[in-house]
Structure 1
Amino acid sequence: MLPVIKNESALIKVLLLLVLTWSLSSCTYRQLIVTPSASDTFWKQGRQYVEQSDSLLRIVICHEKKTRQNLIFYAEITNTGEQPQLIDPSAFYFIPHYKSLSTDTSLKTSKKFLLDPEIELGRINSAINREESSHKTTQSLNAFFFLMGGVLGTVNAVTGNVDEASENFESAGETVDYMNEEQADHEHEMDLLENARSFWENEVLRKTTLYAGQTVGGLLIYPMIKKAKFISLYFPVGNSKLKFDFKQTWKRM
């Protein structure tokens, strides 16, 4: 039997407590945690690394962070052999496992590739060209409208059409305001695109020829497969094909 609350202030307190409890429970969210499946790992600057090597390469990798759609890893690759090796991220791929690493062997035909930095840079450069072209066209048209407004305003002022001249000059002033706003929007968009280009040019691992003893490092960006319980990252380079397994766990925060 439910208790009867006769005091009005007590009832209000109970209602507030219920609302607070509901609010706290509704504010929880699930966060994806990505960790190496291997037990032999080490930590550096708060990141958990795992390492593998063969006669040609040594790779050290960690899960760096994630976005809404991608998983971002950081990897350092060292040429431990005697011959040059071409490191081509476009050849790197991963396989999602929806049950376990041992039972999902049939899924090896469904390999997925990471985001190719050269393709992404091509898209960004195309977007920059489109933005520049659109900006020039828009500003040229606006400059024409401004000039026409000024000319018409001057003509109407000389011929005594004061009201129309005022409207013409006001329209020309509005065009200038719009040109300034469009210029600011253009500069903001260009800043975003330039920052994106700098990221893909300098932070992401790109195609590199590694000579004996050399090391290259950078970010690797994989599309996120939220339903996968494990992901296996493959690094085919020459006759080397090192693999790293990571576990994906959703935790309520």
Structure 2
Amino acid sequence: MKNLKLIITALILILGLTNCSASYFTLTPDEESKLEMGRQVVEKEDGLIYSSLSFEENTDNEFIFNLFVYNKGNENILIDPKEIYIKVYNDDKQLITNQSFYAVDPEEQIAQINSDIKSRDTDHDITTGFNIVFSLLDTFVDLADDEDNDVEEVAENAIIFTGNQINEEISYDNDMEYLNSQKKYWKNSVLRKTELNADEEVQGIIYLPIFNEAEFVKVHIPIGKTVHTYKFKQIAH
């Protein structure tokens, strides 16, 4: 009976820990917003710039936003996603820390993916070379022994090499397809450093880090010589 109670207590603790680890965070605007295509969109506008921001979803570590910027003025403006940052606040809307948490730099992500592609190419060449070398070595050993079934052994080596190489080719193709799709995403869907002329616009995804202890956050978006600030309430689920 005592052991049963211990087991039940342990199960309750495990379930409690599991529920805690499953928490995730979302954001809802802490200022006026409008509903557009199921999204809560916050708009900002001054004499030179119109922008809008909506929270899309989150990864394990980042909030994902969709940002739109339109240049209303006559001068060129620059928007650089790595300059976008978030400030975090407690339940009383007081700063938790003076530190600013900056958006993921898409250029760094693209550079890392290019490096991963190069590394995978190198690994593929090395693996293919090893498969060939080991197949040849096995064949030489089989031919050098005194057994009479050399043809069968050589055929078996060829089958093993072919199987190993087919597996490597499948793995390589899958890896390259994934890496190239990620590269395409970061190049074309994520907001990158952009100069806007008069009457030009840009739209893209930005990634900002999640600060678990925050109750409210402000997203600061430098655009040209101005900064548009967006306020959100952080909700734990």
Q: Shorter-normalised TM-score: what interval? A: 0.7 to 0.9
Shift of 1:144: 2.5
Number of the residue aligned with 1:126: 115
Number of the residue aligned with 2:8: none
Matched position secondary structure for 2:53: strand
- The structure that has the greater radius of gyration is 1
Shift of 1:149: 3.6
Equivalent-residue separation in structure 1 for 2:137 and 2:65 (angstroms): 56
List aligned pairs for 1:90-239, cutoff 5 A: 90-101=82-93, 103-104=94-95, 107=97, 109-153=98-142, 155-156=143-144, 161-163=147-149, 166-239=152-225
Asked if the contact 2:26/2:58 (under 8 Å) is kept, the reply is no
Identity of aligned residues (%): 26
Number of the residue aligned with 1:84: 76
Equivalent-residue separation in structure 1 for 2:141 and 2:152 (angstroms): 10
* CA spacing shift, 1:98–1:165, aligned 2, 3 Å: farther
Shift of 1:150: 4.0
Question: For 1:63, which of 44, 55, 61 is the aligned residue?
Answer: 55
Number of the residue aligned with 2:36: 44
Instruction: Give the TM-score normalised by structure 1.
Output: 0.79
Instruction: Give the TM-score normalised by structure 2.
Output: 0.84
Asked if the contact 1:73/1:220 (under 8 Å) is kept, the reply is yes
Residue identity in the other structure for 1:45: M
Equivalent-residue separation in structure 2 for 1:35 and 1:133 (angstroms): 45
Equivalent-residue separation in structure 1 for 2:90 and 2:104 (angstroms): 21
Equivalent-residue separation in structure 2 for 1:27 and 1:248 (angstroms): 19
For structure 2, list consecutive stretches of 5 or more residues without a partner in the other structure.
Answer: 1-14
What is the aligned-residue RMSD (CA, Å)?
Answer: 2.4
Equivalent-residue separation in structure 2 for 1:98 and 1:27 (angstroms): 23
Equivalent-residue separation in structure 1 for 2:170 and 2:90 (angstroms): 47
Shifted more, 127-136 versus 141-150: the winner is 141-150
Shift of 1:53: 1.5
Shift of 1:27: 7.2
How many residues in Structure 1 have an aligned counterpart in Structure 2? 221
Asked if the contact 1:152/1:165 (under 8 Å) is kept, the reply is no
Residue identity in the other structure for 2:209: P
Question: For 1:35, which of 12, 28, 33 is the aligned residue?
Answer: 28
For structure 1, list consecutive stretches of 5 or more residues without a partner in the other structure.
Answer: 1-22
Asked if the contact 1:146/1:176 (under 8 Å) is kept, the reply is no
Residue identity in the other structure for 2:233: K
Asked if the contact 1:56/1:240 (under 8 Å) is kept, the reply is no
Residue identity in the other structure for 1:184: I
